[in-house]
């Protein structure tokens, strides 16, 4: 982690903690309150085990897939030069990332990213689905910035964290916009696996990005 004038309070950890807590947790809480209020007042259809057990269970699997798809395209949109310079650049001050870097973002990013939960105004939800949706986004933001590639238990990698995948994004910018849940980057031509061939492709994309 680094210190320097590019960071709020001249320190990367202090900067990351400030934006995570002051902005990230604030909007996270606001969205949670909004969605619970909407459920309680009938603005979001309540989905329960007793009314529809199949969809009640299915949503626990659908939500992470929707979240990963939403994140990929919002993240890619934030790399449009105007949005990058005015909003997303704050997050990319972190070249060498740490756990606090994941949610260290501009408030506009928090509003947009956490806005993924608003889909429940259309498809309904149970309070547990709301909690999963918001916590899945915020916690995976932390795990992909930990600096550790996986969780090792008894000498075996039990959980892939995706740190290398996302670290490549912080290094090359125009690649690996998504997470590991589904291979969106492979589907849409933005995958970087660390090879020289991928490096050459990304450098060409960075030239176009810089000159635009």
Q: Give the C-alpha separation, 74 to 70, whole Å.
A: 6
Cα 133 to Cα 32: distance, rounded to the nearest angstrom: 10
Do the Cβ atoms of 130 and 119 come closer than 8 Å?
Answer: no
The residue among 75, 135, 149, 68 whose CA lies nearest residue 105 is: 75
Q: Are 119 and 66 a contacting pair, CB within 8 Å?
A: yes
Q: Are 171 and 95 in contact (CB under 8 A)?
A: yes
Q: How far apart are CA 76 and CA 89, in angstroms?
A: 13
Contact 89, 109 (CB under 8 A): no
Q: What pLDDT score was predicted for residue 148? A: 64
Residues 6+ apart with CB under 8 A from 5: none
Read off the tokens for 135.
């916590």
Read off the pTM: 0.86
Paired tokens of 118: 């608003």
Rounded to the nearest 10 degrees, the angle between the axes of helix 127-143 and helix 107-114 is 130
Per-residue pLDDT of the chain (212 residues; tens, 9 = 90+): 567 778 887 889 999 999 999 999 999 999 999 999 999 999 999 999 999 999 999 999 999 999 999 999 999 999 999 999 999 999 999 888 888 999 999 999 999 999 999 999 999 999 999 999 999 999 888 888 876 656 666 776 655 655 677 788 888 888 899 987 788 999 998 888 878 887 787 777 667 666 65
Angstrom CA distances, 168 to 93, 171, 178, 179, 206, stand at 14, 5, 11, 12, 13
Residue with tokens 């810089």: 210
What residue spans define the domains of the chain?
8-211
Residue (of 101, 56, 59, 73) closest to 182 by Cα position? 73
Q: Please tell me the distance from the alpha carbon of residue 126 to that of residue 50, in angstroms, as a whole number.
A: 11
């Amino acid at each position: 982690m680094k210190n320097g004038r590019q960071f709020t309070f001249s320190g990367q950890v202090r900067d990351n903690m400030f934006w995570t807590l002051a902005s990230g947790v604030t909007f996270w809480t606001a969205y949670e309150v909004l969605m619970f209020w909407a459920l309680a007042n009938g603005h979001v259809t309540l989905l329960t085990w007793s009314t529809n057990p199949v969809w009640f269970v299915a949503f626990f699997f659908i939500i992470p897939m929707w979240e990963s798809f939403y994140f990929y395209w919002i993240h890619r949109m934030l790399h449009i030069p105007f949005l990058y310079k005015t909003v997303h650049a704050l997050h990319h001050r972190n070249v060498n990332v740490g756990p606090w870097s994941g949610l260290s973002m501009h408030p506009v990013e928090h509003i947009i990213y956490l806005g993924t939960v608003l889909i429940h105004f259309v498809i309904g939800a149970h309070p547990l689905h709301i909690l999963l949706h918001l916590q899945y986004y915020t916690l995976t933001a932390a795990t992909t910035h930990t600096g550790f590639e996986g969780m090792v238990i008894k000498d075996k990698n039990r959980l892939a964290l995706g740190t290398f995948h996302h670290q490549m994004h912080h290094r090359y910018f125009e690649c690996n916009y998504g997470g590991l849940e589904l291979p969106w980057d492979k589907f849409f031509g933005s995958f970087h696996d660390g090879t020289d061939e991928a490096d050459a492709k990304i450098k060409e994309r960075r030239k176009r990005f810089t000159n635009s």
